[in-house]
Amino acid sequence: MFKPVRMKKVTAILLEDSKEAVLRELKEYGIIQLKQVQEELGISAVPFSKYRSRVLELLSRVESILETFSLIEDKKKPFLTSITEEEAEKKPVFEKSIEEFLKETEEFFLPIENEVKKISSRLDEIKKEKEELKNINEILSLLKHIGIDPKSLTGYKKTGVILGLASQKEFEEIKSELECFIYTKELDKKRLIVLLVYDKEIENEVTRILRLHRFEEISIPGEYSSLSLEEAFEKVETSLTELEKEEKELIQKLIKLSENKEELLRIRELLLIEKTLDEANLNIGKTKKTCILSGWIPEYEVEKAKEIIARASQNLCIISIE
């Protein structure tokens, strides 16, 4: 059961140069909840850091790559593990300036990002190509159902051939309005496969009537239009096999790149710290040469907070406890 904790208000006046060091120390120990002081004291807020846009952009890019890596991970992980945010393995972090940190992060991250983007883009293309091949396979199955080769539907000078699907009702209306050869075969209880052979001189009229009656025309891709059914099915199967092989190879490359995941998780954590520290500026007031921060601390942590502020500011501060 949670019990209320007696709190104390701490206010500190610091030199502007020591603000970042004090914030970092307080963030590390997590013992203060900052409050806004601008309105209370009639002073301006500390502006966001000049590195803020770089930090936010890099954080977004790192999270995007980590999300890509998560898609290729073992799906057998426990459910709770998969929905909780992963944390980086604890590792010592050497003190660096924000400029050094961002520069080193970008140098490490950019080659990984470029390779992941290239692989992801190709995987998206493969997914679309496989869907197209599955659609072609369905069209070929319809042709097989009525015993016609793809090459039988094209190449005529004076005659047009259209293949498609229509309901029984729509087909009866099409048949009553068109003077042409029509062959049909039932596909299921609701639809018919319809083959129309007509004189090209009435092509516009045929197109108009079919559109009017919601005729679902089936188009044969150009590279299949000169093939027999057997050749077309074989071509689809070969293409699917090649794509699946390429897909597996690309996924293996992603798995290899994901070996950098631990380091990227650490980078994300450090970027989130920079983001949080920068946002803390909204709660800090600023005069010409000093900064004023104020917040609430558990009573038992007051001495610790005073020690942190004094040490991080090199004792160039004024601390008030209320």
Q: Are strands 159-167 and 191-199 parallel, antiparallel or unpaired?
A: antiparallel
Residues 32 and 139 both lie in one domain? no
**Cross-strand partners of 195:** 163, 183
Please state which of the ranges 32-41, 84-93, 191-200, 281-290 shows the lowest mean pLDDT: 84-93
Contacts of 85 (CB under 8 A, 6+ apart): none
Residues 192 and 316 both lie in one domain? no
Task: Give the DSSP letter of residue 225.
Answer: T
Q: How many other β-carbons are positioned within 10 Å of the β-carbon of residue 163?
A: 22
Q: Which residue has the higher pLDDT, 82 or 170?
A: 170
Instruction: Give residue 80's pLDDT.
Output: 38
Mean of pLDDT values over 247-266: 92
Q: pLDDT class for 94, splitting at 50, 70, 90? A: very low
Q: pLDDT class for 283, splitting at 50, 70, 90? A: low
Q: pLDDT class for 275, splitting at 50, 70, 90? A: confident
Distances in whole angstroms, Cα of residue 259 to Cα of each of 84, 87, 118, 170, 264: 20, 15, 17, 59, 10
Residues 85 and 63 both lie in one domain? yes
Q: pLDDT class for 82, splitting at 50, 70, 90? A: very low
Q: How many other β-carbons are positioned within 10 Å of the β-carbon of residue 205?
A: 13
Instruction: Give residue 31's pLDDT.
Output: 66
**What does the mean pLDDT of the chain come to?**
81
Residues 143 and 292 both lie in one domain? no
Tell which phi-psi region holds residue 107, choosing left (phi > 0), alpha (psi between -120 and 50) or beta.
alpha
Instruction: Give residue 41's pLDDT.
Output: 56
Residues 195 and 291 both lie in one domain? no
Instruction: Give residue 78's pLDDT.
Output: 45
Instruction: Give residue 26's pLDDT.
Output: 73
Contact predicate 260/266, CB 8 Å: no
Q: Which residue has the higher pLDDT, 90 or 79?
A: 90
Residues 107 and 208 both lie in one domain? no
Q: Is the pTM of this model over 0.75?
A: no
Q: Report whether pLDDT(39) > 90.
A: no
Residues 114 and 232 both lie in one domain? yes
Residues 39 and 82 both lie in one domain? no
Residues 144 and 233 both lie in one domain? yes
Q: Which residue has the higher pLDDT, 135 or 12?
A: 135
Residues 290 and 308 both lie in one domain? yes
Instruction: Give residue 152's pLDDT.
Output: 87
Contact predicate 230/160, CB 8 Å: no
Distances in whole angstroms, Cα of residue 309 to Cα of each of 20, 45, 160, 194, 201: 11, 20, 86, 83, 91
Q: Residue 187's domain spans which residues?
A: 155-219
Reported as a single tens digit per residue, the pLDDT across 69-78 is 888 775 435 4
Question: What CATH number does the domain containing 63 carry?
Answer: 1.20.1460
Residues 127 and 56 both lie in one domain? yes
**Could you identify the residue written with the tokens 């010592």?**
92
Question: What CATH number does the domain containing 183 carry?
Answer: 3.30.70.2750
Q: Report whether pLDDT(159) > 60.
A: yes
Question: What CATH number does the domain containing 322 carry?
Answer: 3.30.70.240
Q: pLDDT class for 89, splitting at 50, 70, 90? A: low
How many domains, in total, are found in the chain? 3
Rounded distance, CA 171 to CA 224, Å? 27
Q: Which residue has the higher pLDDT, 26 or 131?
A: 131
Residues 160 and 205 both lie in one domain? yes
